[in-house]
Amino acid sequence: MRINNIRTLSFLAAIVAAVTPTAYAPSLASAHIALSPGVVDPCKPEGGNAAEPFDNGGFESPIVKKGARWDDYRAGDSVGPWKVGGGGIGVAPKSYWPPAEGNQSIDLNGPGVAAGSITQTFATVPCHSYKVTFAVAGHPNDPPRIKTGEALIDGVVFKEISFDTSNSSWNRLGFVYEEFTFQATKSATTITFASTVARSDHGIVLDDVRIRECDCGGAVITPYVDGPAARKAKTAEPCPSVN
Ligand SMILES: [Ca+2]
């Protein structure tokens, strides 16, 4: 058959497109999950990520008002993408005490003279593992001498936090870095840092929260889903290995 005009060429191209099987094009989200032959990936991403990427882990925004010793935030307030809960939190500039990173850090006990919290929901890929690192210290004033708190993923405690302020000073809080990993189960994950110091405005100081996808390879931490330890995390079988 001699092809002698553009309309005929377009018609033939449409037929070829209709009968050619669509090449398998794994999404970016699942492209590097390594599965054994014949194993069906149990963790398909949910349709798109509704949440924004994790942000403002250093609590650099909003900037503490000019001339203020620090800024208080109460339950329901926003600190960038973070939502404040409990007794509120305080954002301290470096003129108040040196942060671990940048120019600002937060105290998880704020204006309510009670345990406060801060929460952010961000985009994740189901079945992928993430490492959370953060800098922790404590308000140098007693009480209590030992400041406590917890880090939660989707409402489940993944890391209990404790910081002894015996050697802390206003010029050097003595930040230390903590970390934990979690395995995402949804396309959006919520992280919370909460004080467990009651009846005080001197709590855990937090800064430099970072969340990065990790090639953890082995077991990852996932929450209990039943039983009396429902708020505790455990080490569980991993998802398929990540290359
Ligand atoms: Ca900071």
Tens digits of residue pLDDT in 21-38? 333 333 333 333 444 555
In a domain, 47, yes or no: no
Q: Which are the contacts of 127, defined by CB distance < 8 A and separation ≥ 6?
A: 33, 41, 42, 43, 183, 184, 185, 239, 240
Q: How many domains does the chain have?
A: 1
CATH number at residue 140: 2.60.120.260
The pTM assigned to this predicted structure is 0.76
> What is the distance in A from the centroid of ligand 1 to the CA of 26?
38
> What is the distance in A from the centroid of ligand 1 to the CA of 61?
9
Tens digits of residue pLDDT in 198-220? 999 999 999 999 999 987 655 66
pLDDT at 19: 36
Q: Which range of residues forms the domain containing residue 78?
A: 71-236
Q: Is the pLDDT of residue 188 over 60?
A: yes
In a domain, 171, yes or no: yes
> What is the distance in A from the centroid of ligand 1 to the CA of 90?
13
pLDDT at 12: 38
SS3 136: strand
Cα–Cα distance, 188 to 48 (Å, whole number): 10
pLDDT at 22: 35
pLDDT at 156: 85
